Amino acid sequence: MRYAARLDDNSKLVTHLIIIISLVFLFRQITDISQDTLSTTVMLFILVPVIVIAWCLSPRYYTITATTILIRRPLLSITIRLEDVVRLRSITEEDLGNSSRLLNIGGVFGYLGTYRSSEIGKYQRWCTNREDLVLIESDNQKWLISPAGADDFVRRVNQLINIPDQP
């Protein structure tokens, strides 16, 4: 079963804003006749790799197979074996408590990378929105994803790993 990874309004805004700013810097770089383009060159060397890396690592969709949950990305998709899943549930942003960023990209093509939460500890976040959150826990790792139709996603995976529906 395939579930979409839709960007929320905040991610769309941040992504579009960063791309527009990069295009403005690129246009200034190309059209600047004063040859004093060091500042725009530096900004382009920062912004362009951030955009490319964020796009490559952002989820395109999530797939449930008979044995795995796949987080499909343009580069380096993530495979989570169902036999390793200890717990899977829908959560809200408030359930995470205070989260701090460890190594991530927040907002550009989604919320991607490693975070630490006061409630659940260290986790990998591969979300495109902050509404349809699903927490997947194994013995040694946690993933937070955001499939469209999160409740259906949780129900289907729990059926596959033989966990009864939660009220």
pLDDT in tens, the chain (167 residues): 899 999 999 999 999 999 998 888 888 777 776 666 677 778 888 888 889 988 999 999 999 998 999 999 999 899 999 988 888 999 988 888 887 777 778 788 999 989 999 888 899 999 999 888 999 999 899 999 999 988 999 989 988 887 655 55
Q: What is the pTM of this model?
A: 0.82
Cα–Cα distance between 38 and 63 in angstroms, integer? 45
**Residue of 90, 87, 82 whose CA lies nearest to 63:** 82
Amino acid symbol at 72: R
Neighbouring C-beta atoms of residue 145, cutoff 10 Å: 25
* Residue 94 CB burial class (10 angstroms; 0-12, 13-18, ≥19): exposed
